[in-house]
Chains A and B, each alone.
Chain A
Amino acid sequence: IAGITQAPTSQILAAGRRMTLRCTQDMRHNAMYWYRQDLGLGLRLIHYSNTAGTTGKGEVPDGYSVSRANTDDFPLTLASAVPSQTSVYFCASSAAGGNTGELFFGEGSRLTVL
């Protein structure tokens, strides 16, 4: 059982470059989320999608964009990476939208922007 798959696992990126983090789930969950995790700050919500075709902004959306063309995929794009976007990024999903259900997380993507 794969659950949620994220790619790449780790990436070093030059500032100003465009980068897409991929996230795919095979649980047919309606809701998907992107979080970033930084030391001392915990997990912060970047963007979310309650169902295919819809997206919404989280706590820290600036510099990021998402799309939800189908149920399974929820890519996160950094249009022009900056060093402050160095972080560990987690994709998550839940059966129910609205954060009233258990979140299932991917293994994370560690991004370093130089």
Chain B
Amino acid sequence: GQNIDQPTEMTATEGAIVQINCTYQTSGFNGLFWYQQHAGEAPTFLSYNVLDGLEEKGRFSSFLSRSKGYSYLLLKELQMKDSASYLCAVTGDDYKLSFGAGTTVTVRA
């Protein structure tokens, strides 16, 4: 099976930066995804990494190190609407997407 770990909760101040770490142990690797999920809503796609390095998309960036089994999602210039759960998910060599339990980020004024 797959093992994906991420912190349960994080709190940050509006305008600040928060980094959500994700470590994984999987059988093979075919990509890592980050999803955002607001309370009571469906998850929505944020980013996809398959090669090592940083992918930047506006205020959000995602980093991957395959050799370390490690990724992070960086949220810059935090806004109140960024309060949500952030889900790390990995595709292994069975080509099935496995999700971590999610990190709930609370942004305070």
Residues of chain A whose beta carbon lies under 8 Å from any beta carbon of chain B: 33, 35, 40-45, 48, 58-59, 90, 97-100, 102-108
Contact = CB atoms under 8 A, between A and B. Distances in A.
Interface residues of B, number: 22
B26 to A, nearest CB: 12
A42 B95 contact: no
Q: Which 8 A-B pairs have the closest CB atoms?
A: A98-B95, A105-B42, A42-B101, A99-B97, A43-B99, A99-B91, A42-B99, A102-B45
A77 B32 CA distance: 30
B101 A107 contact: no
Nearest to B92: A99
A107 B41 contact: yes
Secondary structure class of chain A's binding surface, majority of residues:
loop
Given A42-B102, A59-B1, A103 B96 contact: no
B42 A107 contact: yes
Contact of A59 (B89, B91, B98, B101): B98
B41 to A, nearest CB: 7
B42 A45 contact: no
Contacts of B48: 102
